[in-house]
Amino acid sequence: MEKKIAEIGEFGLIDRLRRLLDLEGCQPPGLSLGIGDDAALLQAQPGCQWAVTCDVLAEGRHYLSEYLTAFQLGKRAMAVNLSDIAAMGGQPRYALVALGLRGSTLVGDVENWYRGFAAALNPWDAAIVGGNMTQVDGSQFISITLMGEVPAGQALRRSGASPGQAILVTGYPGQAAAGLRLLQERGQDGGLEDHPLVQAYTSPMPRVGEGRAMAGDRVVSAAIDTSDGFLGDLGNLCAASGVGARLWAAQLPLSPALRAATAKWGEDPVRWFLGPSDDYELIVTCAPEQVEAAKRRIAGVNQAPVHQVGVITPERDCLEIEGESGLSRLLRARGWDHFTSRDKEI
């Protein structure tokens, strides 16, 4: 019978996780001392700056455990942080993991979280170097701090977009939200594990390689990831840059799977593309004459789809979308917000 955390205790669990990471993790350069002491000892590579991010995933708020395996949850939790480092053009290096756990949680589930963490980190020669855990009576949580390296002065930022520049996006935003809806309609046992929308939700692929390829090349002027939804994060980029944006409805990359699902629901796929959906794609801006160069740079990493979807405008915080008829309408978007309504506002 599988043991619960309460049966082996905090230090028994830490010991098992340390041995698991010794077997399944990696040893990044610059790690002098990892798990097992009061703090890790790290060394940045010469000529680099640290890019540091932190995200918390709370059970019932950020994830529904009935729709994710323990391995998928671990991999997805780390992908959230990897996407932030990707948006800065960074190389992931070190992760700290803090957990809030019920004593009744199965040890094997936590071990599979860590297998998911390692699977997300290993392709980038990054590793878990420490963390903390505490007991909770209610909802569990996963809090991850991830450190990445960026060549000094070459980090991508939100604040570099200028009027007249092109807006590009990787992949097909909106798919993860649609995948979650499919799971909620049919459940995890509904034979959906290979559906492309469900895979977009359960197994996101943060664009780390693409971000690293763009850092420092002076082709891309600004970047942000779409963790809060395409329109919400485009709004964040525009606010940081003091500009607005005009989107072209006919140019939005709507995947065949999203079109098929929304047709069945009788809904507009554009609303799903624009609305809250944690797809972990990248929005980038560049000069019009650099569009093809930016596309080649991004697609050259993993053949990622990349499309121009609009243009930056001078009207600060003014977001609009131009329909196929040529008429435009204003958009309002908050994306995902932890302290207001979850409903999209478009």
Averaged pLDDT of the chain = 88
Q: Are residues 238 and 308 in the same domain?
A: yes
198: domain CATH number is: 3.90.650.10
DSSP letter, residue 63: B
pLDDT of residue 46: 86
pLDDT of residue 189: 63
Share of the chain above pLDDT 90, in %: 62
Report residue 344's pLDDT band, with 50, 70 and 90 as the boundaries. Answer: very low
Last residue of a domain, one of 151, 174, 201: 151
- pLDDT mean over 206-225: 90
Q: Are residues 144 and 172 in the same domain?
A: no
Structural domain count, the chain: 2
Distance separating alpha carbons of residues 287 and 310, to the nearest angstrom: 12
Distance separating alpha carbons of residues 327 and 214, to the nearest angstrom: 34
pLDDT top residue among 329 and 253: 253
| pLDDT for residue 5 is more than 50 | yes
| pLDDT for residue 25 is more than 70 | yes
pLDDT tens-digit series, residues 95-109? 999 999 999 999 999
Share of the chain above pLDDT 70, in %: 91
* C-beta pairs of 328-331 under 8 Å, 24+ apart in sequence: 328/246, 331/231, 331/247, 331/274
- Residue 269: name the closest of 283, 255, 280 by CA: 255
Q: Are residues 194 and 133 in the same domain?
A: no
Q: Is residue 56 part of a domain?
A: yes
Report residue 342's pLDDT band, with 50, 70 and 90 as the boundaries. Answer: very low
DSSP string, 97-152: EEEEE-TTSBHHHHHHHHHHHHHHHGGGT-EEEEEEEEE-SS--EEEEEEEEEEET
Report residue 159's pLDDT band, with 50, 70 and 90 as the boundaries. Answer: very high
The 10 Å Cβ neighbour count of residue 311 is 18
Q: Are residues 166 and 139 in the same domain?
A: no
Q: Is residue 340 part of a domain?
A: no
| pLDDT for residue 307 is more than 90 | yes
Q: Are residues 139 and 170 in the same domain?
A: no
Last residue of a domain, one of 92, 120, 151: 151
DSSP letter, residue 200: H
Q: Is residue 47 part of a domain?
A: yes
Distance separating alpha carbons of residues 249 and 284, to the nearest angstrom: 18
Which range of residues forms the domain containing residue 162? 158-331
Q: Is residue 288 part of a domain?
A: yes
Distance separating alpha carbons of residues 144 and 116, to the nearest angstrom: 13
Q: Is residue 54 part of a domain?
A: yes
- pLDDT mean over 292-296: 92
Report residue 44's pLDDT band, with 50, 70 and 90 as the boundaries. Answer: confident
Q: Are residues 83 and 194 in the same domain?
A: no
DSSP letter, residue 4: B
Q: Are residues 311 and 203 in the same domain?
A: yes
pLDDT of residue 341: 42
145: domain CATH number is: 3.30.1330.10
pLDDT of residue 33: 63
* This prediction's pTM: 0.87
Q: Are residues 88 and 224 in the same domain?
A: no
317 phi-psi bin (left φ>0, alpha ψ -120 to 50, beta other): left
pLDDT top residue among 306 and 11: 306
pLDDT of residue 48: 86
Q: Are residues 31 and 137 in the same domain?
A: yes
pLDDT of residue 165: 97
Q: Is residue 339 part of a domain?
A: no
Q: Are residues 187 and 144 in the same domain?
A: no
Q: Is residue 345 part of a domain?
A: no
Q: Is residue 280 part of a domain?
A: yes
Last residue of a domain, one of 107, 133, 151: 151
State how far Cα 268 lies from the chain centre: 24
| pLDDT for residue 56 is more than 60 | yes
| pLDDT for residue 330 is more than 80 | no
| pLDDT for residue 156 is more than 80 | yes
pLDDT tens-digit series, residues 111-120? 999 999 999 9
- pLDDT mean over 336-344: 42
- Residue 281: name the closest of 177, 206, 186, 191 by CA: 206
Q: Are residues 44 and 70 in the same domain?
A: yes
Q: Are residues 271 and 235 in the same domain?
A: yes
